[in-house]
Amino acid sequence: MTPRKVLFVNHTSTVSGAEMVLLDVAPAFAGSAAFLFEQGALNQQLEQRGVRVFSSRFGAGFSRLKRDSRAISAVPMAGRMIGVVAELAHLAREYDVIYANSQKAFTLASLAAGIARRPLIWHLHDILDKTHFAAKQRQLQVYLANRNARAVITPSLAVEQAFVAEGGNPELANVIPNGLDLDADPIPKTILRRQLDLPSGPLIGVFSRIAPWKGQHVVIRALANLTNVRCIIVGSPLFGEDDYANSLKILVARLGLQDRVHFLGQRSDIPQLMQAVDIVVHPSVSPEPFGRTLVEAMLVRSPLIATDAGAAREILAPDAVNMLVPPGDTAALVNAIRQVFSGAAGLPSQLDAAQTRAKDFYGLAKMRAAIARVVEHAVNNKNRTSLQAHQPTNTSFASTVL
């Protein structure tokens, strides 16, 4: 099979969940390149992985457009949008397929793909609902997908179902879960905590960017009802959520938890930190499109408590379903944490099952191979149909993986 030259497109150069996937996928396509709207950390990290990077002359500032903004807010940037489309259409003629890795990238890439006459793939990393996107934005995205995309890749059934619920063509959708390459050596907690300068005693950890929908405030409120339990919060506000980050610190002070809540910021040693805590808590209050943290915790055999919203139920091992709690329910989270610390029966076997599931279904090689098949299908077939036979909505997530 001739390697396909893919032009990956992303609107931001801030590295978050979708960009981590791009960093894993793009290097697998020899001769491919990335077109980024702005300069930043993503440019450098892609180049370090051998990916050629083009930066737009007109794309700076698109990251500041909010997902829930009205369409009229983008009018002042119309001229620059036209510039980006022209740049992208010109460059795309050198590649076999355009691969849009974000919503804003997809909107402009869909126009460029038509001009350049190149097939378009949209990797949809978000749940299209009113929680995150204004109605006009959702309608525009779905219209462009139905009209212009050759395929839509989603990381979970939750994302696919939301896309279809908004009017997206189900024949376009391909569920491919995010893959990780993580093989952490088990190290005793006492040694890790000493190496990482973490407190002793009962310790929980929250690992995600700081944003209101990620639910860090729920964990802080739960701590007020958990004597002697400490917490590390790992992550930072990446997309303008600084007010929320400050509110968390105010909440910690108001509840008198300054000595029990530790903000560690962005870290590169997530697997070690996850092994060092007693419980990983994933407290999103809105549906999670995937949840990389969930898989990372499963791979290092960390006890995991997650909110039952979005893809969490799909990802967790079936016999660990009792580790799910309703989103935003402080009392339920308190009870779940107490249950784990009390030595709940069956926990070791649940951790074994979770680790096995993570290795079986969420490997990097599996994700890359599945995406390569979608790319090949998109190039060779103009009928815009999915590679996978669609399953009923209640079918196990694992059975839908390409």
What tens digit of pLDDT does each residue of 309-363 get? Answer: 999 989 986 766 668 999 999 999 999 999 999 876 567 788 888 888 999 999 9
The contacts of residue 285 (CB under 8 Å, 6+ apart) are: 212, 213, 214, 215, 218, 307, 309, 327, 328
Output 259-265 pairs: Cβ under 8 A, ≥24 positions apart. Answer: 260/223, 260/229, 260/230, 260/231, 261/220, 261/223, 261/230, 261/231, 261/233, 262/198, 262/199, 262/230, 262/231, 262/232, 262/233, 263/232, 263/233, 264/232, 264/233, 264/234, 265/234, 265/235, 265/236
With bands split at pLDDT 50, 70 and 90, how would you rate the model's confidence at 394?
very low
Q: Is the pLDDT of residue 389 over 50?
A: no
Question: What pLDDT does 390 receive?
Answer: 36
| pLDDT at residue number 387 | 65
Q: What pLDDT was estimated at residue 74?
A: 55
CA triple 290-291-295, angle to 5 deg = 110
pLDDT reported for residue 46: 97
CB contact set of 120 (below 8 Å; sequence gap of 6+): 97, 98, 99, 100, 109, 110, 113, 148, 149, 150, 378
Range 189-361 has CATH code 3.40.50.2000: yes
- pLDDT reported for residue 27: 96
* pLDDT score, position 72: 45
The average pLDDT across 281-291 equals 94
| Cα distance between residue 170 and residue 193, in whole Å | 47
**pTM for this prediction:** 0.88
Q: How many CB atoms lie within 10 A of CB 240?
A: 11
On the question of pLDDT at 382 being above 90, the answer is no
Q: For 90-141, how does the pLDDT look when each residue is reduced to its tens digit (9 = 90+)? A: 999 999 999 999 999 999 999 999 999 999 999 999 999 888 788 888 999 9
Residue range 57-71, pLDDT digits in tens: 998 766 555 554 555
CA dist 43 to 60, 63, 190, 247, Å?
Answer: 13, 15, 38, 32
Asked if pLDDT for residue 393 goes beyond 60, the answer is: no
The pLDDT assigned to 61 comes to 67
Q: Can you give the pLDDT at residue 60?
A: 78
Domain boundaries, the chain: 6-179+363-400, 189-361
Residue 77 is predicted with a pLDDT of 64
Mean pLDDT of the chain: 89
> Can 6-179+363-400 and 189-361 be said to share one CATH topology?
yes
In this prediction, residue 64 carries a pLDDT of 58
**pLDDT category of residue 181 using cuts at 50, 70 and 90:** confident
Confirm or reject CATH 3.40.50.2300 for domain 6-179+363-400, answering yes or no: no
pLDDT at 323: 83
The mean pLDDT value for 69-85 works out to: 69
Q: C-alpha angle 96/100/102, rounded to 5°?
A: 170
Structure tokens at 244: 């929320």
What's the CA angle centered on 193, arms 188 and 195, to 5 degrees?
A: 100
Structure confidence by residue, pLDDT tens digits, 210-258:
999 999 999 999 999 999 999 999 999 988 899 999 999 999 999 999 9
pLDDT of residue 384: 62
What confidence score (pLDDT) does residue 321 get? Answer: 60
Q: pLDDT band at 144, cuts 50/70/90?
A: very high
